[in-house]
Chains A and B, each alone.
Chain A
Amino acid sequence: MQFNSTREQVAFLARRATWGLAPGELDVLESLGVTATIDRLVDPSSAGLGEEASAWADWNFVYDRSDRKARRQQDMEAFERWMGRLLSTERPLDHQLAWFWHDHFAVSMQVVRHLPAMLGHLDLCWSLGRGDVRALIRQVTTDAAMLVFLDGATSKGTAPNENFGRELLELYTVGVGNFTEADVKAAAAALTGWVVRRRDGWKVRFVPARHDDTPQTLLGVDGVHDADTTIAAATSSPACPVFLASKLGRYLLGDIDDATVLALAATFSNADLDISALARATLGAGVGGAATPTVLAPLPWLLQAIKATGAHVSTAELANTLRSMGQLPGSPPNVGGYPGAATWLASSATAARFSAAIDVARATPDEAPALAAARAGDWPGLADLFMRPAGFSNATMTALEDLKPSVSARPGEGALALALASPDLLIA
C-alpha cells in the first residue's frame, strides 16, 4: 500500500494499531506526523500519556462457582470493562498487542470456564505483551488458564500429555516444519508436574512427584528438564523470531513478503526479542509501503464504527452484535485463534455486518459529525471520519449518491448505515 499524504499514513496507522478514532483525532495525528505518531503508539509514556492499570484492577468480586446468577453478572461486567477500555484507552497499541497475544495463545473462556483465571491470563497478555517475549511465553506456560486450556494441569511424568508441548512449538514459538515429534515428546515431559488447585482459588503449584526431570534434548538443546529450560530452548531457536515477526507482521500489515518478514525478524533478534521494538519496526515498514489491504475482524470493525459515530451501544447490544458476527472476545473457536480474513467475508458474517451497520447508525446521536456528513451528502468527509481520507470506492460513492433519503425515517441514518456496511469500511 502506497500513501499520498501524511494524513493517509497516520490514518493507516490508526486503522491497524488503534481501536478507532473519535472525530478530530485524525487531525491531531496528522499534525504530529508519522514519526511522532508511531512514538506515541509504541511508547506512550515518553509522549506524556499517563500509565494505565489493568482494566479489572479496581474491581473486587467474590467468585462463587455455585452462584450462577452472580457469575453471569460478573462475566458481563468483565466484558464491559474490557470493551470500555478498548474504546477509551490512550494507549491503543498496548491493547492491540494484548489482543494479538490473546489471539496467539487462543485461551478460551469456553474451555477455562473460570473468570478470575481468564482475566489473569488476559492481564498477562496485556502487561507482558510489549516487553521481552520470553518472559511472556514463560509466564503463560504455567498460567492457570493455560494449564487448564491445554491440559498441562493433568500432565504427569508417567504419561505426559502432549497438548501444550505440541502447540508451544507449532503455534507459540517456532511453527510447523521447525520441530519433530521427538521435540513434542521432550517438551511434554519437561513440562510435567504443574497443577491447578481448583479448590484453592485456582492456585498454580509445582508438584515434583508428578514431574519427569529427565534431561531432554529439545530443538537441539541438551539438558532441558523444566519450564524455564523448555521456554529458553524454544525461544532460542532461530525459527522463533522469524515465526513471531511473521505473525505480528501479518496481524498489523496484512500479507507481507518474505524479505520484510526477515528484516523484521532481524530487528526483533537484535532487540533481544523485545516486542515493542518489533512493533515499532513493523509499523514503520507499513507506512513505508510494505502493508497490503486486510479484512477487519468484527471486533475492530465494530469498535472503529462506534468510535467514529459516537453511537450509544449498550454492553448487551455490543455482545450480541459481536456474537452474531462471529467473534465474541475471550472465545477463540480453537487453538488456532480467531479465524482469518476469508471468514469475515463469508455469508454469515456479511449478513450480520449489514444488520450491525443499521444498528450502529440507529444508535448514533443526532449531533454526531458522522450523521451530519451523511445527512449533507458529504461523502469525502464521512470517509475521513472513518479514517479513510482517500475516500470511498466508486461503487460505494454511486450507491450513496443513489440512495433515496426516504430510506430512513431520520435523515442521514440510511446513508450512514450504508457507509458502515459498505465493503470499503471492512477493508483496512
Chain B
Amino acid sequence: MPISRRAFLGGAAGAAAAGGGAWAALLRDSLEAAAPTVRPSPTTTRAPVTTTTTAAADAVASSSARLPVTERVLVVLEMDGGNDALNTLVPAVGRYHDARPKIGLSDGQLVTLTGVEYGLHPALASLTPFWEAGTMSAIAGVAMPQQSRSHFTAKDAWWSGVGGSPSQTGWLGRWLDLSLDAERNGVDDPLRAIALGGGSPALVGAQTTATAIRDPAAFTLATGPGVDEGGLVEAFLATASALNAEPTLAAAQQAIPGTLDAVALLAAAADSDNLSAYENPTPGAGRTAVDLLSTAANIIAMGIGTRVLTVGVRGFDTHADQVENHQALLQDLASGLASFFTALEASGDLDRVMVITTSEFGRQIAENGSAGTDHGEGGLQFIFGPTVAGGIVHGGYDLGAVDDGGVPPVVDTRSVYRSALEWLGGPGGADGVFEEDPAVLGLLTA
C-alpha cells in the first residue's frame, strides 16, 4: 500500500508546528534530544557513502515489491522516568490497596488476565488479546544489580547491562559489534540500529554506529532555493574525508557520513511502496508511542536491514497527580503497540519482531501526599513476540518484605536481555555481551 512521504515522516501537524513559529507551540512539541550513538572508532570499516548510499537508495526506490526479509528485529520500548509497575500490572493480593488509598486501582477497574493473580491497568485493555493469544508475558520485580533510585545512575545501568561499574558501551551496542562480522562482513551500516524519539545509549558500540532520529519529520537535508544541494552535500562529506588527530573534532567528522547515508536511505525508502499499513489515530500529536511506533512499523516494513530499534517515550516520572497522567501514558503505549502489531501482521512482518519494554526503576509501594509515587526499585517489563512463552508473570512483587518502600528486586533484567538477544541472534546470540551469563528465565518457547 503506497503511502506518501509525508505520512511516513509523521504527518502534517509536525510541519505546521515547524512553520508556525510560536514559542508556545514549539514548547508543546517534544524536544528530548537524540542520545549519544556516534563515537570515535578508528577501527571501524565502513563502505564509502557515495557508493553504498546511492546504490542502496536506488535499489530501495526502484523495487516496488521488496525481496522477502527474514532477519529478525528487536524493538526496545524505553519508558523514561521510572514506570509505576504496581499500577501497570496490579497484584490482586497483598498490601497494595492499603498503601495506595488515593491512586490504587480497585479490583473492579482492572483488566483480568487469564491464569495469573494480577490485573492490567484499564488503559492497557487493548493488549489483552496478546496475553490471551500467548504472545505476551510480564516480568515483575525486575532490576539491575545494586538498583539505583537515581534516574541517571539507573538508566546508565539499564542501558549498559553492566552491574556495578560504568561502561562505555551499551548491551545492544555490544551485540551489534559482536555480530558485525558474521552479519555484515565487518562493514558498519548506520541503519542496522535506529533510535527513535531520543536516542539510546544502549546502542553505543565500539565498532558500530547507530542512527538517532529525534523527530522523523525533521530528518532531512533542506537546502532551499539558490543552492546546489548535491554539491554542498558532497562538500559536507569532504569535511569528514581525513580524520583529524584531535578526537573531538574527529568525532564530529565521523558523524557526517553515517548521517548522510541514513537521510538518503530513509528518504528513498519512504518514496517506495513498502511502507506498512500503520494507521495512526492521532497523527503528528507529538513524540508519542503512537507516533514513534508508526515510524518503527514503517522502518521494519521497508526491509532496509534494521535489526534493532529503540523507541523512547517520556513522562513516566509520576511524582504527582498520577491517576490522570499514568492513564494517558499507558493509553498511548497500548494504542501504539496494538496498532504496531496490526500493521506488522498486515505487512507480513509480525513473525520477525520482538518487543521488550524497559524502565529504569519501579516506584515506591506507598503513594505520597501529591497523589503520586516516588522513586523505588523493582520494576516491570513486558515482552511480546512470536516465540514468547505467553501468559506468564515471571518474578513478582514481594510487598510483604518492604525494603525502604521499594519493591524488592527478584529478577535481573539481564536475563530478559539475554533471551531477547538469543532470539535476535540465534543460539549463542548473547555470548560475550555480558560479564557473566545471566540466568535463563524461560521467557521463550523455543
Chain A positions within 8 Å of B, measured between CB atoms, are 68, 71-73, 75-76, 78-79, 109-110, 150-151, 154-163, 166, 170, 176, 181, 184, 192, 292-295, 315-317, 319-320, 323-324, 326-328, 330-331, 333-336, 338-352, 354-355, 358-359, 362, 393-396, 398-400, 402-404, 406-410, 413-414, 417-418, 421-424, 426-427
B263 touches A160 (CB 8 A): no
Q: Which of B213-249 contact A (CB under 8 A)?
A: 213-215, 218-228, 231-233, 235-236, 238-242, 244, 246, 248-249
Would you mind naming 27 contact pairs between A and B with Cβ atoms under 8 Å apart?
A75-B23, A76-B23, A154-B371, A159-B369, A161-B368, A163-B319, A293-B246, A293-B248, A319-B23, A324-B18, A334-B317, A335-B151, A339-B34, A342-B37, A346-B37, A347-B34, A348-B212, A351-B221, A393-B244, A399-B241, A406-B231, A408-B228, A409-B225, A414-B228, A418-B236, A424-B249, A427-B246
B290-328 contact mask (Cβ, 8 Å, vs A): 1 or 0: 000000000000000000000000100101110000000
Q: Report the number of A-B residue pairs with Cβ-Cβ less than 8 Å.
A: 291
Please report the C-alpha to C-alpha distance between residue A336 and residue B233 in the assembled complex, in whole angstroms: 34
Closest Cβ of chain A: how far from B437's Cβ, in Å? Answer: 29
Interface of A is mostly: helix
B223 touches A343 (CB 8 A): no
Specify which of B36, B213, B246 is in contact with A348 (CB 8 Å cutoff).
B213
Contacts of A421 in B (CB 8 A): 236, 239
Please report the C-alpha to C-alpha distance between residue A364 and residue B30 in the assembled complex, in whole angstroms: 30
Q: Contacts A326-B34, A342-B39, A355-B223; is A76 near B21 (CB within 8 Å)?
A: yes
Contacts of A338 in B (CB 8 A): 33
A292 touches B23 (CB 8 A): no
Please report the C-alpha to C-alpha distance between residue A334 and residue B220 in the assembled complex, in whole angstroms: 26
Chain B positions within 8 Å of A, measured between CB atoms, are 18-39, 80-81, 148-153, 190, 198-199, 211-215, 218-228, 231-233, 235-236, 238-242, 244, 246, 248-249, 251-253, 255-256, 258-259, 262-263, 314, 317, 319-321, 366-372, 374-375, 404
Please report the C-alpha to C-alpha distance between residue A338 and residue B26 in the assembled complex, in whole angstroms: 16
B36 touches A345 (CB 8 A): yes
Specify which of B233, B314, B368 is in contact with A333 (CB 8 Å cutoff).
B314
Contacts of B37 in A (CB 8 A): 342, 346-347
Closest Cβ of chain B: how far from A376's Cβ, in Å? Answer: 18
Closest Cβ of chain B: how far from A74's Cβ, in Å? Answer: 8
Specify which of B198, B259, B320, B404 is in contact with A154 (CB 8 Å cutoff).
B320
B252 touches A427 (CB 8 A): yes
A350 touches B320 (CB 8 A): no
B151 touches A346 (CB 8 A): no
Contacts of A181 in B (CB 8 A): 149, 404
Specify which of B233, B252, B259 is in contact with A295 (CB 8 Å cutoff).
B252
Contacts of A422 in B (CB 8 A): 236, 239
Specify which of B24, B152, B227 is in contact with A72 (CB 8 Å cutoff).
B24
B374 touches A348 (CB 8 A): no
Please report the C-alpha to C-alpha distance between residue A192 and residue B27 in the assembled complex, in whole angstroms: 30
B223 touches A347 (CB 8 A): no
Contacts of A71 in B (CB 8 A): 24
Q: Contacts A327-B33, A355-B220; is A293 near B239 (CB within 8 Å)?
A: no
A156, A341, A407 — which one has the most chain B CB atoms within 10 A of its CB? A407
Please report the C-alpha to C-alpha distance between residue A315 and residue B22 in the assembled complex, in whole angstroms: 9
Contacts of A192 in B (CB 8 A): 369
Contacts of B238 in A (CB 8 A): 395, 398-399, 402
Q: Contacts A155-B368, A162-B374, A323-B18; is A423 near B253 (CB within 8 Å)?
A: yes
